[in-house]
């Protein structure tokens, strides 16, 4: 699956626009991570527990978006973006979305 944040793929021609594809996950922080994060907040530096949580969330949202695009018959996703939103206190949604397309090599 080819994925790009641009609206075109160099060397490829879009032969069919299928439409929106998306994948999301909603994650909640946990007490253990919050405690360690609070300590790091006092001394400064990267909060690696949250960095890891966000990286895992992005990968899961991407995997779900790709699976949705493949189910629609796409072989590429253009205009891909991430979005986040707070769902409730201590939890957030991470959404990956883009346009599912079928591309071929340019001739």
Domain ranges of the chain: 2-105
pLDDT confidence of residue 56 = 92
Q: What is the pLDDT of residue 72?
A: 97
| CATH number of the 2-105 domain | 3.30.110.70
β-pairing, 2-3 vs 76-88, is parallel
pLDDT digits (tens, 9 = 90+) for 9-64: 999 999 999 999 999 999 886 655 555 656 656 667 777 778 888 899 999 999 99
Helix (H) or strand (E) holding 99: strand 91-105
Tokens of 39: 């300590």
Query: Higher model confidence: residue 64 or residue 107?
Result: 64
pLDDT of residue 96: 98
Pseudo-torsion of CA 86, 87, 89, 91, nearest 10°?
Answer: -80
pLDDT on residue 87:
85
pLDDT at 32: 57
Confidence at residue 90, expressed as pLDDT on a 0 to 100 scale: 76
* Alpha helices, H only, 28-98: 31-43, 48-71
Which tens digits make up the pLDDT trace of 83-104?
A: 999 888 778 899 999 999 999 9
| Angstrom distances, CA of residue 38 to CA of 29, 31, 69, 105 | 12, 10, 39, 51
Q: Coil, strand, or helix at residue 13?
A: strand
Check residues 74 and 46 and name the one with the higher pLDDT: 74
């Amino acid at each position: 699956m080819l994925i790009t944040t641009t609206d075109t793929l160099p060397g490829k021609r879009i032969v069919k626009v299928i439409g929106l594809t998306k994948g999301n996950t909603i994650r909640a922080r946990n007490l253990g991570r919050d405690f360690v994060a609070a300590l790091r907040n006092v001394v400064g530096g990267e909060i690696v527990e949250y960095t890891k949580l966000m990286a895992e969330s992005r990968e899961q949202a991407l995997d779900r978006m790709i699976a949705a695009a493949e189910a629609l018959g796409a072989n590429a996703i253009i205009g891909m973006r991430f979005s986040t939103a707070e769902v409730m206190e201590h939890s957030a949604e991470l959404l990956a979305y883009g346009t599912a397309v079928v591309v071929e090599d340019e001739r």
